[in-house]
Structure 1
Amino acid sequence: MGKLDGRVVVITGAARGQGEQEARLFVAEGARVLLGDVLDDQGEALAKELGENARYVRLDVTREEDWTAAVAAAQEAFGRIDGLVNNAGILRFNELVSTSLEEFRRIVDVNQTGCFLGIRTVAPEIAAAGGGTIVNTASYTALTGMAGVGAYAATKHAVLGLTRVAAVELAARGIRVNALCPGAIDTPMSNPDGVDPEAVAGLYRKVVPLGRVGRPEEVAALALFLTSDDSSYVTGQPFVIDGGWLAGVALF
């Protein structure tokens, strides 16, 4: 018996990285999953691999019409929606004074506005199904600052604010809302330039108390906890998964 038997969950940014691992784990735990992404080839291949309990739909989280279409696709395929994982996001490395307005707005559009649109569009469907869960992907940087990722950190602080407000507003409708706050996770987004994995690992061995970069499967396991009944009395909270990075830097 799976932890998500009978549930239908929409996952954004599901074609690779954390979203892919969340989709794999959720299906393994009995859920039917709508995979949303703009990486069509990867998303369609993953849905095909996962079988009849998965469907792929192109979902640009910045577009209202894409969200409307995604809800319609989930309803047509599975008849209901019980959960949402707002996983889609982008990361750009730049100091604030060198960040163009265009770049800043693009990061806000995907990370912050995309999360807002997901909550606004999908929450009524979850409520209509009798309640459920929303998991928003924030970041370690939602709780601190980090040089070089100012625009990204700003949006993740905003995601955490949205999470807390949504948790309060949606509680009466039977919807729990929580936030994942990953630190350094080994995904294509965190290493867009394809830096040697051993070099990346060496960096985090120096600063993360647990001495390694995180795995997307570990983030997926936390998303499962927040989507399942194991977290039935938890809402409005940030859950840090960072190997101890926020607790303090390991220098030796």
Structure 2
Amino acid sequence: MGRLEGAHILVTGGSRGIGAATVEKARDEGAYVSFVDVLRDEGEHLSDSLGKDVMFREADICSPEALTTALSEFHSAFGPITGLVNNAGRNSYADPVSMTEAEWDDFMSIDLKAAWLVARAVLPDMIARGNGAIVNVASVHATMTYPGFFPYAAAKSGLVGLTRSLALEVGRHQIRVNALSPGYTETALVKEFFELNDPKLRDKVLDVHAMKRMARPAEIANCIAFLLSDEASFVTGANWTVDGGLTARFAG
């Protein structure tokens, strides 16, 4: 405990799943935590349950104006943001032929562009301080994926590429940027995936994991907290795979 003492961590998509676990973990590690989400009721409930060092605002991360308003309130409450977790995202089950340009743009805005928008908003303070950490929550879909998931892998691959580029651009200011790629994690998005497929698929998935189970959101949050902390002071431009051994084996 105490690895993030005095830090101010911003989490996007923090109302549930990995985001909520990260909010709670950062608070437990001594940070002030701000988070945004479009899920207002869940966000307010989480914030109220965690106390005065946690602040929630409903905000659309695809809107620079909404971000500016929320970040201004966070800054007034807790000071400059020292760490960012770009966690917000959603699944996509589009068809590459029937998907419209508007649907593509809407999806990519949430799962890729917004990570840059939020980073752009917090980087000036980090650069002025000469310190900071950004963690982009990607996915093992950045390197492997399923049919019928178009274009989720493209967004997550782009997020890993964005991570490398940002790390090179801001490293001279002692700002670290890393990606973290979870495998199957017990979240609402994963539950949604299984509900849309064969009910027996969950058992097949568990069988190919070295640990024969999925991650708990708190286990992913533990790794995020490490990457935010000074213990990872020489880690940047990396993509950390946290998948319980899923990608360690061949098919079959």
> TM-score band, normalised by the shorter chain?
over 0.9
Distance 1:194-1:242 versus aligned 2 partners, 3 A rule: closer
SS where residue 141 of structure 1 aligns? helix
Amino acid at match of 1:143: T
**Number of residue equivalences:** 250
Does the 8 Å CA contact 1:201/1:212 hold for their aligned counterparts? no
Which residue of structure 2 lines up, in the alignment, with residue 204 of structure 1? 205
- Bigger drift between 25-34 and 146-155 goes to 146-155
- Distance apart, 1:191 and its partner CA: 2.0
Deviations 1:198-247 (A, max 9, x none): 85641322332322222111110110110011111100000001112222
TM-score calculated relative to the size of structure 2: 0.93
Which residue of structure 1 lines up, in the alignment, with residue 54 of structure 2? 54
Q: Does 1:231 align with 2:226?
A: no
Alpha-carbon distance in 2 for matches of 1:124, 1:109: 22
Distance 1:200-1:16 versus aligned 2 partners, 3 A rule: farther
Does the 8 Å CA contact 1:9/1:83 hold for their aligned counterparts? yes
Please give the root-mean-square deviation of Cα atoms over the aligned residues, in Å.
1.9
Which residue of structure 1 lines up, in the alignment, with residue 221 of structure 2? 220
- Distance apart, 1:70 and its partner CA: 2.3
- Bigger drift between 121-130 and 16-25 goes to 121-130
Which residue of structure 1 lines up, in the alignment, with residue 40 of structure 2? 40
Q: Does 1:247 align with 2:213?
A: no
Does the 8 Å CA contact 1:13/1:19 hold for their aligned counterparts? yes
TM-score calculated relative to the size of structure 1: 0.93
Alpha-carbon distance in 1 for matches of 2:249, 2:94: 24
Amino acid at match of 1:216: P
The answer for unaligned runs of 5 or more in structure 2 is: none
- Distance apart, 1:61 and its partner CA: 1.1
SS where residue 118 of structure 1 aligns? helix
Does the 8 Å CA contact 2:194/2:202 hold for their aligned counterparts? no
Does the 8 Å CA contact 1:35/1:56 hold for their aligned counterparts? yes
- Distance apart, 1:34 and its partner CA: 0.3
Percentage identity across aligned positions? 37
- Distance apart, 1:98 and its partner CA: 4.3
SS where residue 154 of structure 1 aligns? helix
Structure 1 residue ranges, 4+ long, deviating more than 6 angstroms after superposition: none
The answer for unaligned runs of 5 or more in structure 1 is: none
Does the 8 Å CA contact 1:184/1:214 hold for their aligned counterparts? yes
- Bigger drift between 146-155 and 91-100 goes to 91-100
- Distance apart, 1:13 and its partner CA: 0.2
